[in-house]
Amino acid sequence: MIGSGGAESALRKAVKAKKKRTRSRFSIQTVNLLLSLLLPLGLLAVWQIAGMMGRLNPTLLPTPGLIVEEFVALTMSGELFYHLSVSSWRALLGFLLGGGIGLAAGLWVGFSYRAERLIDPSLQMLRTLPHLAVAPLFILWFGFDESSKILLIAKGAFFPLYVNTFLGIRSVDSKLFDVARVLQFSRWQMITKLVLPASLPNVLLGVRLSIGVAWLGLVVAEMMGSSSGIGFLINDARYLMITSVVFVGIIIFAVVGKLTDSLVKLLEKRLLRWQDSYKGEGVS
């Protein structure tokens, strides 16, 4: 009976310790959330108060209240959802096209020194070309239809994944390749079981950067020549001097970009559980 009582007591202590760790983790997450909201909410409050006091020109800088009203109106009319769905589809196609080719090119160049000498200098030169410089050429070559927009987005999405995949492969410890040769891995086994897992942090970083650049390319593509999309909505509102709609479009781009980045970070966290790296807990 004593042994049974001791086991029950230890079990209760373990349950209490687990609940305490859960509460501690929840409180830390709550504090982090409040800290992240403190600055933007404070800025919004100052902005709204300054606008209500007449210190801001509503044509140049509408108050957050007016922007919310415009957002509700665009949402209720269905216009915002339509433009957002068009933009999201373009960004997805451009990212899949450019990112997929960038991943394949990074693998090829990363494994082959000859391929690096052959195409990497040219690709590095093309990487420095800004979207605004090549957008008129894309429109001239491919017209005003979807092809020019998707290809312009793909052009931006290509390079982050290419560069990070290439660097990820070249940063793999050479001793691992010696182990693979001893185990008589085939080239496919070497890629899937050795190189890709070791270079995955760089590849996922490339995915995050590639998605961000895809959204930037989307803005340029839709503002240069388009009749739909969030970029078109912003450009049309700019011509009509409806600044509140411009702010709605900008906020939509920021929110959707943040959500996609958070999804990739969540995927990164799940795929890289094995990684033991510094998380920043030691500095407040």
Least confidently predicted of 44-58, 99-113, 199-213: 44-58
The whole-angstrom distance between residue 57's C-alpha and the CA centroid of its chain comes to 34
Task: Look up the domain containing 1 and give its range.
Answer: 1-56
At 110-145, the pLDDT tens digits run 888 888 888 888 888 888 887 777 878 887 888 777
Q: Do 81 and 26 share a structural domain?
A: no
- Of the pLDDT bands very low, low, confident and very high (cuts 50, 70, 90), residue 1 is very low
Q: Do 50 and 17 share a structural domain?
A: yes
Q: Do 47 and 81 share a structural domain?
A: no
At 240-253, the pLDDT tens digits run 888 888 999 888 98
From 215, 213, 220, 212, select the one nearest 132 (Cα to Cα): 220
The whole-angstrom distance between residue 184's C-alpha and the CA centroid of its chain comes to 38
- CATH number of the domain encompassing residue 169: 1.10.3720.10
Choose the final residue of a domain: 56, 76, 101: 56
Q: Do 47 and 78 share a structural domain?
A: no
| Mean pLDDT of all residues in 179-189 | 78
| Residue 272 φ/ψ, nearest 5 degrees | -110, 35
178 located within any domain: yes
The whole-angstrom distance between residue 256's C-alpha and the CA centroid of its chain comes to 9
Q: Which residues contact 77 (CB under 8 A, 6 or more apart)?
A: none
Say how many domains are in the chain: 2
- Of the pLDDT bands very low, low, confident and very high (cuts 50, 70, 90), residue 11 is low
| Mean pLDDT of all residues in 207-231 | 84
279 located within any domain: no
Q: Do 143 and 33 share a structural domain?
A: no
Q: Which residues contact 87 (CB under 8 A, 6 or more apart)?
A: 218, 222, 229, 230, 231
| Mean pLDDT of all residues in 164-172 | 86
Q: Do 178 and 77 share a structural domain?
A: yes
3-state secondary structure of 276: coil
Mean pLDDT score of the chain: 80
Separation CA 258–CA 256 (nearest Å): 5
282 located within any domain: no
Which tokens hold the place of 168? 């990820």
Q: Do 129 and 264 share a structural domain?
A: yes
Separation CA 160–CA 202 (nearest Å): 10
Q: Is 281's pLDDT higher than 60?
A: no
- Residue 281 is given by DSSP the state T
Burial class (CB in 10 A: 0-12, 13-18, 19+), 133: exposed
Separation CA 217–CA 157 (nearest Å): 8
Q: Do 182 and 72 share a structural domain?
A: yes
Q: Is 200's pLDDT higher than 90?
A: no
At 28-58, the pLDDT tens digits run 777 776 777 788 888 888 888 888 888 878 7
Q: Do 129 and 28 share a structural domain?
A: no
Q: Which residues contact 222 (CB under 8 A, 6 or more apart)?
A: 87, 90, 149, 228, 229, 230, 231, 232, 235
183 located within any domain: yes
284 located within any domain: no
Please tell me the number of Cα atoms within 13 Å of 71 on its side-chain side.
13
For residues 234 and 134, the answer to whether their CB atoms sit within 8 Å is no
Separation CA 202–CA 163 (nearest Å): 9
pTM for this prediction:
0.75
Q: Do 218 and 140 share a structural domain?
A: yes
276 located within any domain: no
Q: Do 135 and 243 share a structural domain?
A: yes
For residues 213 and 159, the answer to whether their CB atoms sit within 8 Å is yes
280 located within any domain: no
Least confidently predicted of 9-13, 111-115, 264-268: 9-13
Q: Do 85 and 11 share a structural domain?
A: no
Tell the residue number behind the tokens 């902005």, with chain if given: 47
Separation CA 130–CA 137 (nearest Å): 12
